[in-house]
Structure 1
Amino acid sequence: MLKIIEDEVRFPKALEKGRTISRTYRTYPYRVYQANCALRGIDYGFSDQEGMFFRTTIDTSSQIISPYEVKVTITFGFRSREFDKKTDATIKYTLFLQYV
């Protein structure tokens, strides 16, 4: 059985290094044997060699913690050389869960 969960996380405006938010999904009584996120990662902008104007990093990953628990981790950062820009973001992702 396949279950599709559409979700989003909100990163409030803050001045920090790359920030990470984790969400845990409990699936009891269904056992999960595969979990994948639709947004796997985006990293774009100018490199330090091309110019220090901006660079954005977005990454999502999923991990099966137990047969009944899946953890999704989302990392976001906006920077010029360092992660030093006060920026907020909403990251949308889709989680695909394959049950036994």
Structure 2
Amino acid sequence: MNIITDSVRFQEELSGGRVITRTFNTYPIRLSKVAAALQGIDYGFSDDEGQFFRCTIDIKAQIVNIYQIKVLITFGLRSKSFDKRTDATINYILLF
């Protein structure tokens, strides 16, 4: 089993849910399975916001070919729509 530890930073902006894509090359290790696990998150508001909100964090790992992994990390904070001004750092690990 091999492990990659990574961290992504979502800069503050006011927009919909945001996605960061990362690609990892594993040569000479051939891939057969891959899994991603959330390791930690740090996020905060920049403006005065209400006490009710919803946070969306999604991490998906895909095998592109036998030596390459693609990871998609989605982050969004919202009340009724993704409309909260916030920033975040998301830590995750890949197991393959």
TM-score (norm 2): 0.84
d(CA) in 1 for partners of 2:6, 2:29: 20
SS at match of 1:32: coil
Instruction: Find the counterpart in structure 1 of residue 37 from structure 2.
Output: 38
Q: In the TM superposition, what whole-angstrom CA distance separates every residue of 1:14-48 from its partner, at most 9, and x where no partner exists?
A: 11100000100001122111110112xxxxxxxxx
Count of residues in Structure 1 that have an aligned counterpart in Structure 2: 86
List runs of 5+ in structure 1 lacking aligned partners. Answer: 40-51
Aligned position for 1:29: 28
Aligned to 1:87: 86
Shift of 1:53: 2.3
Tell me the distance in 2 between the aligned counterparts of 1:11 and 1:33: 30
* Cα drift, residue 6 of structure 1: 1.0
Q: Structure 2 stretches of 5 or more lacking a match?
A: 39-50
Distance in 2 (alpha carbons) for counterparts of 1:54 and 1:94:
26
TM-score (norm 1): 0.80
SS at match of 1:92: strand
1:12 aligns with 2:11: yes
Determine the C-alpha separation between the residues in 1 that align with 2:67 and 2:53: 40
Q: State the distance in 1 between where 2:17 and 2:80 align.
A: 12
* Alpha-carbon distance in structure 1 between the residues aligned to 2:8 and 2:74: 10
Look up the SS of the partner of 2:34 in the other structure: strand
Where do 4+ consecutive residues of structure 1 move more than 2 Å?
none
